Amino acid sequence: MIIGAFEYSSLLAALASAPADRPFVTMWNSEDDLEQVTFGQFRERVRAVAAHLEAQGLRADDTVVLILPQGIPLMTAFVAAMWLGAVPAILAYPNTKVEPGKFRTGLAGVTANLKARQVIVDEEFPSELLGIIQLGQGAKLLRGLGGFREHAGERDDDPPPVSPGRLAFLQHSAGTTGLQKGVALSHAVVLRQIEHLSAELAIGPEDRIYSWLPLYHDMGLIACFMLPMVCHVPVVMQSPTDWVIKPGAMLMLISEYRCTLAWVPNFTLQFLARRVRPQERTRYDLSSLRALINCSEPVRAQSVDEMLDAFQTCGISTRSLQSSYAMAENVFAVTQSKINDERGPCRVWIDGKTLRNQHAAVVVDESAPGAVPLISSGQCLLGTEVRILSESRAELPDGSIGEIVIRSDSLFDGYYNQPDLTAAVLRDGWYWSGDLGFRLGNELFVIGRKKDLIIVGGKNIYPQDIEEIVSSHPAIHDGRVVALGMLNPDLGTEDIVVVAEVTEARLLADALAIEQAVRNAIMGDLGVGMRSVYLKPPHWIVKSTAGKPARSTTKQKLLAEHPELGQTSTT
């Protein structure tokens, strides 16, 4: 049985119709710390928190900012705000993985744009950060939600009728560059997205979702909170911080709870394959997974293959390793691979030289010299169209690489309080994603961000290709590599500069040998040289709130530490 979303007028109506005794959220913090709620218990908490927020002055149409740790209290407050007709937005909670300066700048800028009537933090929120939060006129900052229990039982009403076109909430872009933008989403577009995605994945009552994904990011908020809430399926969660510390816990929870669906960014696959020791893998049974969906763009063939090689004996198969292209501006998914295909997502080999020199994807045999494997992000969901356009806005044929533009019935209405940014990307009903890709038939292949492309002597170099090669060196930390283009004014072209973290600071003593090995690998695989390679200790590279390397901020940090790179460079 597939549960339809269109039978509901709002997200709240979907929650209200869920069976009271059906399990909803299992929040795992440790073997001795497990919190579980059914849909009925969750609704009771939502009503109590809604009454508490109302007593604190929250009203319909007010914006409310939530900066709380991952867990059921955060989820409850989010829905409680919607229950009152307010507009909630979840922001990242401070953690050691995000560079403090970047976090402070982002927190000040985003809260200033939102002009929230209420900002809710927990009791553990660092006091030194409170002064950075920008409050709206007459706004109130709440330290925790402890008082909500005093309002338990005050309201036993159903959620008020909500127009489908009413603004439901704001979700923020990943924020790897610049200030995060608030994506405004109505109940109608979120429900349509869930309708299409749940149909594509054949979501049914037997499904159970696993997630470590942060709820301030679209992958966690939509796929692992809104979708299970609307489709009435359970979700097993842990915090992102706990997952990084204990990556094997993800596999343990999937095995123990027989989870069937999970979404992850691409780096997760290599992280698990390299961090979970072979002797530990015998503990896990991952055969329940119908789809472990890779939502990063681009999907990396090496990452997929490493995951398959490491966990095939645990039940992972080519069929279960699926892919998707997703973004906050389309609520979540744009494409999805066909989960009933035993071969998994479409994989092709293309000629590497043609890709770099002619900006085109020519399919070749796997054994051809210079063949590069690429994995599709799938086919468009129902109600979604994708085009590949040139700089002159001409539609390109199959195999030609250009900007991915999207039109769909799940597309956002605009960035909250930022009409200039909205106008720059929404044109005649199409969203210009800033991503590069190409199509082969109905399959979409995502190459990378347009602004990140490095052009060296006429060759198009994709930074992800460099980063993957550098990351393969055993001394380099997985996923902690950034390749940048720096303008060489004397030659009128760009030079490649790489900054990479070593796994341990002591390895910096071997920096010259590591650098030479990296340079040789890049020249051998891509046929290009590099101006500079900077090896750094662990935790040097600046990361976004979504856990990705923040290119522009990392670049600024690099230029500040190494002025010899010069001040003239591409952004």
Q: In the chain, what are the domain boundaries?
A: 11-195, 345-451, 453-565
pLDDT grade for 175, boundaries at 50, 70 and 90: very low
Mean pLDDT of 526-533: 88
> In this prediction, what percent of the chain has a pLDDT beyond 70?
93
| DSSP tag of 268 | H
Asked if the 453-565 domain carries CATH number 2.60.40.10, the reply is no
What residue spans of 56-164 are helical by DSSP H? 72-83, 100-114, 127-130
Maximum average pLDDT range among 27-31, 500-504, 522-526 = 500-504
The residue with greater pLDDT, 491 or 108, is: 108
| Torsion angle of the four alpha carbons 362, 368, 374, 375, in this order, in degrees rounded to the nearest 10 | 110
Inter-residue contact 216 to 169 (CB < 8 Å): no
Q: How much is the pLDDT for 571?
A: 43
554's enclosing H/E stretch is helix 551-561
Residues 6+ apart with CB under 8 A from 151: 48, 49, 51, 52, 55
Residue-wise pLDDT for 252-290, tens only, equals 999 999 999 999 998 899 889 989 999 999 999 999 999
Q: How much is the pLDDT for 2?
A: 40
Which CATH superfamily groups domain 345-451? Luciferase; Domain 3 (2.30.38.10)
Q: Which of 209-218, 458-467, 485-494, 533-542 has the lowest mean pLDDT?
A: 485-494
Topology of the domain comprising 11-195: Rossmann fold (3.40.50)
Mean pLDDT of 82-89: 96
Residue-wise pLDDT for 354-369, tens only, equals 988 888 999 999 999 9
Mean pLDDT of 242-260: 95
Termini Cα distance of the chain: 50
The residue with greater pLDDT, 30 or 86, is: 86
Q: What is the mean pLDDT of the chain?
A: 90
State the pTM of this model: 0.88
